[in-house]
Chain A
């Protein structure tokens, strides 16, 4: 080991003011990351950091037991479950790192004085926390499957939805973890950090937009939350839009024996049916009717309208009877044709 006593202390290889010196090279940022990573991994065992894994399993189990019959099944259930899963990720992430820096603030200060690079320390923490979050995510997904949640068969990005959802939960957990790490680096002690944390959690939950209908002005705040992105991603991966809206159907079913009393004018009905842009009306307009009539009934129908009666008088009944024959006549028309005809009649044109 090179001795660095007073006798040989001024040593560098450069020629400086006529003196010869030997440069001693110390560990740079890259190799310091490994020193700290090793230290943190030891802490995982000694400092009970491993306890976050069973804690994640318990939390995931509780949430899974509540949501197992609605996740990936109904629209409302998927939304609630996605929100709950996002909350699990945020909770895990926050508790992983909220105390890690502030509790050893003095140690960090001392080691910084001894040559430690703050960037190496932080990067080592980020790598370690990423591993921790990855393990927690694996535990969470495993527990959810064991409890009985059936994940969709196909994912959006990979072939397996469970991988997609797991990756989303990891990102939510890691983002919350990094946020808490930042708070931990700002807080002077663990008490301060733990005082700040509930505010962060409440902000994340309230402004996620998942449970409460938020006013328009709060959109910039919503965009700043991890929960909003986590919720959106999970809902998309759970194919939220294609799930049945059970609450609406349930409401209708509960009303099936109820009397509905209302007064609607024919004009309102016609106006509704005449609206070609309304998809509901378009369906009704396409409904086809078939009416079977005798030739006598056709003649009396034509005579009932003044304009067709004039035509009959001109051509004579015999001509028409020859044309339609003696047998029954089948007339087909759609509801749209009827409505258009009536509308045209209303405007004074021939039907």
Chain B
């Protein structure tokens, strides 16, 4: 019984239990006010995380939740050692060690609780002196804020269930026999005790030989979308490449997808030739002869102008050359779908243009090339289509447009790609905040 009290209330003395019970009652009301089911207040560890979500301090909530868990474990350990310890020396030694660990954890919890409560004070628009009460007698503000009508949060935690219902009832894109078809209903992620929607309702078909620009503000879910499309991180979606299901046949189709990440993720201490040769060994089919493999490496090095520096270490290369090696490593396997996350970052205009022209040539060989770039206007003439992702009012990534470049200009009423991005960005980051308007309009166009 005492152990249960320790786990549920963090102690077995009557005053600890009473204060915890009052805190739970207050928290029940507080969570309900923020749109979170009140019963979370009854669950140790989870309640700390939920409170942090209500305060808009989710990362801190993970720490408070984990720390609380370990404190409960230590408390239980101290209690059990006291009850079942073999002799006094063992009990004193073990309890002393656990108590030292607990002090360290309590300190961490104090700091992170301060941060969470700071967020809560901001959400409720109250004075910062409330912080002291939250830290040292949390049941008092929990009861007052949880049940007092005067205290209301500025915003509520999103109700994911309604969003999920809406997402699964949306339309679908036409499946292409030769090309990429994406029918993404929803992409969620579960962090700790909470499910979050990152993307929803993205339906599009890309024919072969197209070079597609992927636009969107920071945090709109561009990389998440590309990960879902490549099958590396699966979503509630149907992704078909050449009529084959990417998710069901991922082991076979993963070699058909080339993904060049934003950073130059290469081993700097290896030479260009060895880097590409290892990529060839890894990515090319087993029955390719060594001579054919060497030929392919030479061919790719020629395409990107890397042959003169084939024996140079990757770390000694310029930014542009390193990008080329990174892209060449993906092109080795001659992929059908080629995805590049900001390949022109860190490059000057001329080098970026050259790189994009090389990508255009790759697309012209019948491949689909999808490129994310934050400086689209200098190379926009090389692209066929544009995908625009935007965050809606619930901070979920949605499709705001997909189609030819000129249609995009007409749809958004803008002359440049950067203006389009600005129009869908939130006012807080200097945008016009019209994302929801365009998302709605594009949905109507798609359904029509």
Contacts and interface: CB of A to CB of B under 8 A. Distances in A.
A146 interface: no
Pick the most buried of B230, B267, B333, B335: most chain A CB atoms within 10 A of its CB. Answer: B267
Interface in A111-167: 111, 113-116
B281 interface: yes
Given A35-B278, A114-B254, A5 B365 contact: yes
B232 A113 contact: yes
Contact of A31 (B179, B286, B336): B286
Contacts of B93: 215-218
A110 B282 contact: no
Given A3-B334, A5-B334, A10-B243, A25 B286 contact: yes
B244 interface: yes
A4 B333 contact: yes
Contact of A7 (B243, B282, B366): B366
Given A2-B288, A6-B367, A110-B261, A12 B252 contact: yes
A42 B274 contact: yes
Contacts of B283: 26, 114-115
Contact of A4 (B243, B330, B335): B335
B401 interface: no
A5 B209 CA distance: 11
B89 A215 contact: yes
B285 interface: yes
A27 B178 contact: no
A106 B259 CA distance: 13
A25 B285 contact: yes
A125 B274 CA distance: 18
By size class, the interface of chain B is 35 or more
B301 to A, nearest CB: 15
A84 to B, nearest CB: 27
Given A1-B296, A27-B281, A6 B255 contact: no
B89 A46 contact: no
Contacts of B284: 1, 26
A106 B263 contact: yes
Contacts, number: 117
Given A114-B330, A115-B254, A115-B255, A217 B94 contact: yes
Nearest to A32: B282
Contacts of B282: 27, 32, 35, 111, 114-116
B94 A5 contact: no
Contacts of A5: 334, 336, 365-367
Contacts of B266: 107
B320 interface: no
Interface string A1-41: 11111110110100000000001111110011001001100
Interface in B266-291: 266-267, 269-270, 274, 278-279, 281-288
B270 A46 contact: yes
B242 interface: yes
B243 to A, nearest CB: 6
A259 to B, nearest CB: 38
B113 interface: no
Contact of B90 (A38, A43, A217): A217
Interface string B239-259: 001111000000010111001
A152 B263 CA distance: 56
By size class, the interface of chain A is 35 or more
A46 B287 contact: no
A263 interface: no
Pick the most buried of B256, B282, B286: most chain A CB atoms within 10 A of its CB. Answer: B282
Contacts of A10: 242-244
Contact of A26 (B285, B292, B295, B334): B285
B334 A6 contact: no
B267 to A, nearest CB: 6
A39 B89 contact: no
A113 B313 CA distance: 24
A104 interface: yes
A301 B335 CA distance: 117
Contacts of B255: 4, 24, 26, 114-115
A217 B256 contact: no
B208 interface: yes
A161 to B, nearest CB: 38
B265 interface: yes
A47 interface: yes
A1 B286 CA distance: 10
A9 B278 contact: no
Contacts of A243: none
Interface in A224-262: none
B267 A43 contact: yes
A107 B330 CA distance: 13
A27 B244 CA distance: 22
Pick the most buried of B93, B252, B266: most chain A CB atoms within 10 A of its CB. Answer: B252
A273 to B, nearest CB: 36
Contacts of A111: 282
Contacts of B333: 4, 114
A6 B365 CA distance: 9
Given A10-B244, A110-B259, A46 B254 contact: no
A307 interface: no
A7 B242 CA distance: 9
B128 to A, nearest CB: 32
A46 B313 contact: yes
A111 B261 CA distance: 11
A120 B241 CA distance: 28
Contacts of B334: 1, 3-5
Pick the most buried of A12, A24, A104: most chain B CB atoms within 10 A of its CB. Answer: A24
Nearest to B313: A46
Contact of A1 (B209, B288, B313, B365): B288
Nearest to B296: A1
A51 interface: no
Contacts of B365: 5
Contacts of A216: 89-90, 93
Interface string B163-184: 0000000000000001100000
A345 interface: no
A4 B230 contact: no
A267 to B, nearest CB: 36
Interface of B: 89-90, 93-94, 178-179, 208-209, 230, 232, 241-244, 252, 254-256, 259, 261, 263, 265-267, 269-270, 274, 278-279, 281-288, 292-293, 295-296, 313, 330, 333-336, 365-367
25 contacts: A1-B284, A3-B334, A4-B333, A4-B336, A5-B334, A5-B366, A6-B179, A6-B367, A9-B241, A10-B243, A25-B285, A25-B287, A26-B283, A27-B281, A39-B270, A39-B278, A47-B269, A110-B265, A113-B232, A114-B259, A114-B279, A114-B282, A115-B282, A116-B282, A215-B89
Given A27-B282, A46-B313, 20 more contacts: A1-B296, A6-B242, A7-B178, A9-B336, A10-B242, A10-B243, A24-B252, A25-B286, A27-B281, A35-B282, A43-B267, A46-B269, A46-B270, A113-B232, A113-B254, A113-B259, A114-B279, A114-B330, A216-B89, A217-B89
5 smallest CB-CB distances across A and B, nearest first, come from A217-B93, A47-B269, A46-B269, A106-B265, A217-B90
